[in-house]
Amino acid sequence: MIGVSAASGTGTGRAWAVEAFQAWARDAEASPIFFIAGPHGMGKSALAERCASLLGQRVLRYTLEAEDADTLEPRTFVETLARQIADILPVLFTRALDLHQKTFAMGEAVAHLHALWYQGRLRRSLDHDGVYRFAAVV
């Protein structure tokens, strides 16, 4: 694992962190995980989105707020990610999908994720925030 701490940057902005990410992305021998850490409000989510955009990827994000009990509810988590996935579906599917097809597509995606995990082609880990992360087994 390689990464940056959002709290340890020097200079202005996040240029140093983006440069570290770009160097990691170019290194074929690097760990498959680039870790971004820092205290609340340091811009980790914005940095993750910027890094993903450099790779032509999108980011699904969810923030748990201790002051907002609703963010700690599983239903809120699922609904929020479902909306974000629905925004990505047009990129994956060129024709319009009805609600049943969208629900089926999301279920299939989760099923494939778990199938790859059970086959040993993905690994699952629980991070310090209580979020399961999946990564390719290299």
pLDDT of residue 45: 80
How many CB atoms lie under 10 A from the CB of residue 84?
14
50, 17 in Cβ contact below 8 A? no
- Residues 132, 122: Cα–Cα separation, whole Å: 12
Which token pair is 48? 């993750």
pLDDT of residue 3: 52
Q: Judge if 91 and 72 occupy the same domain.
A: yes
Q: What's this model's pTM, rounded to 2 decimal places? A: 0.43
- Residues 28, 121: Cα–Cα separation, whole Å: 19
pLDDT of residue 10: 46
Amino acid 73 reads: E
Tokens 């099923």, residue located: 111
Q: Judge if 44 and 107 occupy the same domain.
A: no
- Pick from 68, 71, 81, 67: nearest CA to 110: 81
Task: Give me the domain span that covers residue 40.
Answer: 1-59
Q: Cα–chain-centroid distance for residue 64?
A: 14
Q: Cα–chain-centroid distance for residue 19?
A: 19
Q: Judge if 18 and 84 occupy the same domain.
A: no
- Residues 51, 58: Cα–Cα separation, whole Å: 9
pLDDT of residue 11: 42
Q: Judge if 43 and 108 occupy the same domain.
A: no
Amino acid 42 reads: M
Taking the chain (138 residues) in runs of 10, the rounded mean pLDDT of each run is 50 74 86 75 81 75 73 77 76 73 76 82 82 78
- Domain tally, the chain: 2
